[in-house]
Amino acid sequence: MNTPIDIFVSSNTTGTGEDFIRASVASGARAVLLSKQPERHAFAMAAGAEIRRVDVNDGCAVLGECQRVSHEGPLRAVLTSSEYSLQIAATVARALGLPGPDPEGIAIARDKKRQRQAFDAAGLRSPRWLQVDSIADLVSALTALGGRAVIKPTDGSGSVGVRLVGSAADAIKAAQAVRAGSSAERRAVLVEEYVSGPQYSVELFHGVPVGVTRNHIGAPPSFIETGHDFPATCNAEATEALSDLARRAVAALGVAWGPSHVELRMTDNGPVLIEVNARLAGGQIPTLVRLATGIDLVGAAVTAAGGGDVCLVQSRSGGAALRFIVASQAGFLRRVDGIDGYPANHRVTHVRLTAALDSYIELNGDFRDRIGYVIAEADRTENAAEAAERAVKGICVNIAKPKKEENQ
């Protein structure tokens, strides 16, 4: 009866979603997952969670369910691993007097326009930007930014709807795709200056950098992340510059509680902010951090949400790298050869197919094009990256086009 209860407001269906549930259960808590579509979260039940059907987009419904659960035992935490449920989870946690991030800070971080405004007000270096509400505004913004720019929605994650454009026609097409997104309302469109240079992310907890990740990005016009290396192999000066700007960014947004993931580009003139995510990184980056340093960011997030003291002490010093298996064409996933035997390799520790065989793969130009991944660890990041690259190149994916496409 005195078992503490952790309530999860929705969950990632890939990445850290299952890890959060397992960390909660391992800590001795009873994990309860609220989901609008429980059938999408069967993994959570297998990990030890109880699932309840709730409209997780309705804050009143979530609060009401949390209050009902609180009558069944001591409520320890309300949290989420889902980008789209961050604000409701934070608002409900605050209403119930539980630890969590500032809901207003989350609201700012979830809106890329408000992020840009906060960065500008704080004097932090980020891309020039304009919000557009018409085709005329769009064409004018593209011209003002030199004829090459990034089109993106003000909400969202996983590079969904983010495109590099170099002409008015491409810009209009990309903006129309953003407006036709899954949001019930017409989504706002940002036009941003394109910043070239290698991409990095800084992983922070309670506003303190834990480390810097090198992010590998696929070919334009999309911005698919194809791999990650942790810790990044940049020099100490670059690491400090990236970390300092990330620290200042989360402080400017008011999200220096719990985990945060800050994306930046390193230019010839120093780092430039791309965006702040008030959550743990996706793309299995927390796994890389744990393999390389022994620091468990998922466990820390669960501990913090429950009011516990977080101690992020590095217990090992190595490197880890991930490379995604990315579909090269749309169609039915028939076979994947070359994924067996790698666990016996002392460097390759994880090989996972995240798309089901015989499922239809669409090319969206974002994280949904990824169908699996390989993770390697070694004494040094360079060695882990080499092992992951070699492993993913040895994997052969067979995707069959639908017959009507084959006959065209």
Q: In tens digits, what is the pLDDT along the chain, a chain of 408 residues?
A: 589 999 999 998 877 899 999 999 999 999 999 999 999 898 898 899 999 999 999 999 999 999 999 999 999 999 999 999 999 999 999 999 999 999 999 999 999 999 999 999 999 999 999 888 888 889 999 999 999 999 998 887 777 889 999 999 999 998 888 877 654 345 678 899 999 999 999 999 999 999 999 999 999 998 999 999 999 999 999 999 999 999 999 999 999 999 999 999 999 999 999 999 999 999 999 999 999 999 999 999 999 999 999 989 999 999 999 999 999 999 999 999 887 766 556 689 889 999 999 999 999 888 889 999 999 999 999 999 999 999 999 999 999 987 655 444
Q: How far apart are the first and last CA of the chain?
A: 64
The pLDDT, as a whole number, for residue 185 is 42
Q: Helix, strand or coil for residue 315?
A: coil
The pLDDT, as a whole number, for residue 228 is 98
* Cα angle for residues 228, 192, 101 (degrees, 5° grid): 60
Q: Helix, strand or coil for residue 146?
A: coil
CATH of 5-98, picked from 2.60.40.2130, 3.40.50.720, 3.90.1150.10, 3.40.50.300, is 3.40.50.720
The pLDDT, as a whole number, for residue 229 is 98
In tens, the pLDDT along 173-226 reads: 988 888 776 543 456 788 999 999 999 999 999 999 999 999 999 999 989 999
d(CA 401, CA 405): 6
Tell me how far CA of residue 41 lies from CA of 32, 50, 100, 354, in angstroms.
12, 10, 24, 14
CATH of 128-193, picked from 3.30.360.10, 3.50.50.60, 3.30.1490.20, 3.90.380.10, is 3.30.1490.20
CATH of 318-408, picked from 3.30.430.20, 3.30.470.20, 3.10.20.600, 3.40.50.10860, is 3.30.470.20
Give me the percent of the chain exceeding a pLDDT of 90.
77
Which segments within 10-166 are labelled E, that is strand? 30-35, 50-53, 75-79, 129-132, 149-153, 163-165
Q: Helix, strand or coil for residue 336?
A: strand
d(CA 163, CA 149): 8
Say which residues have a Cβ less than 8 Å from residue 377's Cβ, sequence separation at least 6.
291, 292, 318, 319, 320, 321, 347, 349, 384
Domain boundaries, the chain: 5-98, 128-193, 318-408
At 129, which amino acid appears?
W
d(CA 7, CA 77): 6
Tell me how far CA of residue 168 lies from CA of 141, 177, 191, in angstroms.
10, 14, 12
The pLDDT, as a whole number, for residue 402 is 77
pTM of the model: 0.93
d(CA 140, CA 138): 5
**Phi, psi at residue 153, to the nearest 5°?**
-75, 155
d(CA 333, CA 360): 6
